[in-house]
Structure 1
Amino acid sequence: MIYADNRQDKIEVTDELKDILFRTIEFALKEEEVHENCEISLLFVDNEEIREINKENRGIDRATDVLSFPMLDYEDKKVYKEMYKDFKFDATYLDGENLVLGDIVLSLEKAMEQSKEFNHSFFREAAYLVVHSVLHLLGYDHIEEEDKKRMRPREEEILKAMELTRED
């Protein structure tokens, strides 16, 4: 189950945009071998709101493109498919029958800016940011170089499998 909440008025949230992003989330979960029914909240914000959230939660007073708030705990350097593939979740992690993976906060304003900067479509940029965030919800990180070498190629593999390349 994917919940979307639009809290900005700078970029129109069309049915096409929501459809692409929902399909992207579902595809990334499938590619990462998540077989449980999951719950993810997708919040659309502008640069000012994401700056506030970034400052409040990370102590960084600047706008960013996407923030991820995972609900699952991961052991050192492990990701979902390594830790939870055959795990039975208790009520701590469930909302009814759904495994609560976490929240994605996406600045559509920043996604639009970056799509122009990187010379590809807004949809491709938003999808990339959502894949990036889903991987964070599943335990991936990119702070350490070793982790980045694992996460960055995985993002591109998922987007390529969806036929969302940098040229799109």
Structure 2
Amino acid sequence: MIYVDNRQEKIEVSEILIENLKKVIQFTLMEEEVDVECEVSLLFVDNEEIREINNETRSIDRETDVLSFPMLEYQDKKVFKQLYKNYEFSQSDFDGNELVLGDIVLSLEKALEQSKEFNHSYEREASYLVVHSVLHLLGYDHIEEEDKVIMRSREEEILNKLNITR
């Protein structure tokens, strides 16, 4: 289940955008071999709200494009598809029958700004940020250069398979 909550009024949110981003989330989960019922929350915010959340949660007092809040703990650089095969989840990892992966907080205002900056469509930028965030929910990271290369490669592979190009 993908929950969507629009908490901003600066950028119009169409049903088409919501459905497209839900499809991006579902496809990313499928590509990452997540074959259990999952719960993901997608929150749309503006730059001011994401700045506040970034400051509260990471002590970084500036706006950003997307924040990911994974609910599962990944150790030893294992991502979901490596973890799932040998891991027993506790009942607290579930909401009913759905494994709770976490929350995505997306600044639509920042996505629009970056789409202009990078000279591609708003839909492409929003989709990229959602794929990026879902991968974080599944245990990917980009702090180390080696991990960054792996994550960027997966992002582009998924977007290309969806035919979402620059």
TM-score, structure 2 as length reference: 0.98
SS in structure 1 at match of 2:143 = coil
Residue-by-residue CA offset, 1:104-147 (whole Å, 9 max, x unaligned): 00000000000000111100100000000000000000011011
Q: Report the residue type matching 1:59 in the other structure.
A: S
Query: Which consecutive aligned stretches of 4+ in structure 1 deviate over 2 angstroms post-superposition?
Result: 85-90
Cα distance in 2 for partners of 1:77, 1:89 equals 18
SS in structure 2 at match of 1:10 = coil
Show the 5 A alignment for 1:92-103: 92-103=92-103
Partner of 1:61: 61
CA contact (8 A) 1:34 1:85 kept: no
1:165 shift after superposition: 0.8
Q: Report the residue type matching 1:70 in the other structure.
A: P
5+ residue gaps, structure 1:
none
Show the 5 A alignment for 1:80-99: 80-85=80-85, 87-99=87-99
Cα distance in 1 for partners of 2:28, 2:139 equals 13
Q: Which moved more, 1:25-34 or 1:70-79?
A: 70-79
Partner of 2:13: 13
SS in structure 2 at match of 1:130 = helix
Residue 145 in structure 1 maps to residue 155 in structure 2: no
SS in structure 1 at match of 2:100 = strand
Q: Report the residue type matching 2:90 in the other structure.
A: D
Q: Report the residue type matching 2:102 in the other structure.
A: G
How many pairs are equivalent? 166
TM-score, structure 1 as length reference: 0.97
